[in-house]
Structure 1
């Protein structure tokens, strides 16, 4: 994939992922609520910051980021599912962890595409996101009582 394609894929996926996290924020109940509910705000803020940085980079290099809900829905590779109070706190965290693992892989694609096209700035953006995502994977898996298993 070309770097512009990876950047736009990231726009769609980060938009969807912010919604997935927001859904967990709204629908979580149970043990850990008092700490995990505000943590979701932090996660959403960070994902939205990445989204803005990626979209602005795409514009800077002459691209056009997706900008409608329909474009996000049509192009994201992150699954959509209806919110439910029946999900446990663990289920919500597993869903978010799955999203972070996907974003980790997408960041790796972005790093490779940017390197292939000698775009150190885009590569640096994806490297920063990958490092932050790996830290979130570590934290979420630790919360779930497991090792991060980061490759």
Structure 2
């Protein structure tokens, strides 16, 4: 049986579950970035304050896109903090003010996120869900470039 957009309902449910986990990961990542933006101190303050804001502005767009994709697949997106905390693979970070430590947290968070995005890409390909394939392909390309740049910054 297929859903409204022509995807097998069982596969769409599985994808919605994985997308909800990605939504939770991005929500916790977003809040980590807000904390880093607000609390950063030191010589890298000016550049990292702006960079963390750039990252959380991007994350909030992705959060909305992911939730809307879940709805398109006829799922229900998570929308409570308890759902996010209980489902996320991203750890909450608190009280970080050191720039290098903050960048390392972003790298760690994005490394976890990209692994899940690759998993979703594979599942969406198997489900012949081109909408999710396209979304994940775009996210993976952006995340790979960001990880490369952050790694270069840390060296």
Say whether 1:76 aligns with 2:107.
no
Distance 2:120 2:43 in 1: 37
Runs of 4+ in 1 over 6 A off after TM superposition: none
**Structure-1-length-normalised TM-score:** 0.90
Aligned to 2:62: 50
Say whether 1:28 aligns with 2:1.
no
Number of matched pairs: 143
Q: In structure 1, list runs of 5 or more residues that go unmatched.
A: 146-151
Bigger Rg, structure 1 or 2: 2
Contact 2:117 2:136 in 1 (8 A): yes
Deviations 1:27-61 (A, max 9, x none): 11112211110111110011111111010011011
Deviations 1:66-90 (A, max 9, x none): 00111111111101132244xx211
**Residue correspondence of structure 1 range 107-122 to structure 2 within 5 A:** 107-122=117-132
Q: In structure 2, list runs of 5 or more residues that go unmatched.
A: 1-10
Distance 1:47 1:65 in 2: 16
Across the aligned residues of Structure 1 and Structure 2, the Cα RMSD in angstroms comes to: 1.2
**Structure-2-length-normalised TM-score:** 0.88
Say whether 1:38 aligns with 2:50.
yes
Aligned to 2:71: 59
Distance 2:125 2:96 in 1: 41
